[in-house]
Amino acid sequence: MKLAFCDCFSGISGDMFLAAMIDAGLSPQLLNEALAQLKLEEHVEVQVEEVHKGAMRATQITVVAPHSHHHRHLSDIQTIIGDSPLPDPVKTNALKTFQVVAEAEARVHGSPIDHVHFHEVGALDSIADVVGAAVGMHELGIERLYASALPYGSGQVNSDHGLLPLPAPATLEILARGHAPLVASPAQSELVTPTGAAILVAHATFERPDMVLTRVGVGAGRKDLPWPNVLRLMLGESPSAVNQPVVLMETNIDDMNPEFFGSVMNRLFSAGALDVFMAPIYMKKNRPATLLGVVARRSEEADLAKIILSETSTLGLRVQPVYRYEAQREVRSVETPFGKLTVKVKLLDGRAVQAQPEYDECLAAAQAHNVPVGEVYLAALLAGKDVL
């Protein structure tokens, strides 16, 4: 599993996070192509440069966009992102971040969520940061995001609402909703922006993971501080060996409408199940039945058990601890006659040994080009050999 850890010793903003992902390998060209798919009123582009913050080299980005006077609502953002041809995981993650912002703004201003006006966070550069972050996590194959405790300073900041205390009210509300750990900083400056806070609260766990480090990206902030004002993004893999404790949850079901099993599987995967499987079995009195099995992390056992008990007709289930071996994996993009497609690369001892296309992307490309899905799949499979 590919992990990412945000070392936020100098805070985080949307542009720092995006810059760190570019520094870690996200293609700026691919990023700008993705932003162009949003069909915004004005042209938006990310420009990249290398800078130094103190003694540290870092990547800094500038979102080039005309100043927009649009005060967008959440529904406007949902339409802009939802109507785009971006991959579904990108759209889902970007909308999740904006939902966090909208809920916080509604709480701060005491208004219904549908009436919230996005000011700074609804601006074109912030839209680029949020969508860019979702694109980056997708393209870099980040499956789980983690973050350190966040520093908070004091002082005031200018906003569309006038002078506000730091941390800004919306930022503070976002962090409270995410139960984010905070550490005091002597800085008389905004260290965590609403966009940066929302990205972490929407997608990250505030803890340090065990990981095998593979890459480091360094994103620069705009301000000059007494220390290097950068965000370090560490990319790596979860340690793959027998020390991967999971649970196997099973139940036998012989009295449920089989049409419901598809919905149950979707719910379990959405709640974090690592694998869900079903097999035909025979029970007492030779009744045909279904064995429902779930492989899950121990931390998610209780939530998944509740779903099984509430969504199926079973009265109980068996749970046993098991271990599993995992190959490391990466998600990479390959060029094919049908456009860029994603392949999942399996690594053993750090060496790529296999590349498998993502079926859903192949199906979408096949439908767009009116060709058999097998033809697109084969093209992606052949292209995938070039990354081995």
Question: Quick check: 382 pLDDT over 90?
Answer: yes
pLDDT at residue number 362: 94
Q: What is the pLDDT of residue 326?
A: 75
Q: How many domains does the chain have?
A: 3
Sheet holding 204-205, edge to edge: 45-53, 56-64, 212-220, 230-237, 2-7, 144-147, 204-205
Q: Are residues 289 and 341 in the same domain?
A: no
pLDDT at position 378 is 95
Q: Give buried/exposed letters for 103-121 (b at 16+ CB in 10 A, else e).
A: bbbbbbeeeeeeebebbbb
Q: What is the pLDDT of residues 309-367, one digit of tens each?
A: 999 999 999 999 988 777 777 888 899 999 989 899 988 766 789 999 999 999 999 99
pLDDT tens readout for residues 63-119: 998 766 567 788 888 999 999 999 999 999 999 999 999 899 888 878 788 767 665
Please tell me whether residues 93 and 184 are part of one structural domain: yes
Do 42 and 147 belong together in one domain? yes
| 333 and 319 within one domain | no
* Distance of alpha carbon 88 from alpha carbon 271, whole angstroms: 17
* In a shared domain, residues 35 and 121: yes
Domain encompassing residue 220: 2-237
Which residues does 286 contact at the CB level (< 8 Å), separation at least 6?
none
Same domain as 287, residue 156: no
Evaluate if residue 242 carries a pLDDT over 50. Answer: no
Indicate if 167 and 61 belong to the same structural domain: yes
Same domain, 53 and 113: yes
- Give the CA distances from residue 218 to residues 5, 7, 35, 183, in Å, rounded to whole numbers and listed in that order: 12, 10, 22, 21
Last residue of a domain, one of 211, 237, 263: 237
Q: Do 174 and 75 belong to one domain?
A: yes
Same domain, 180 and 203: yes
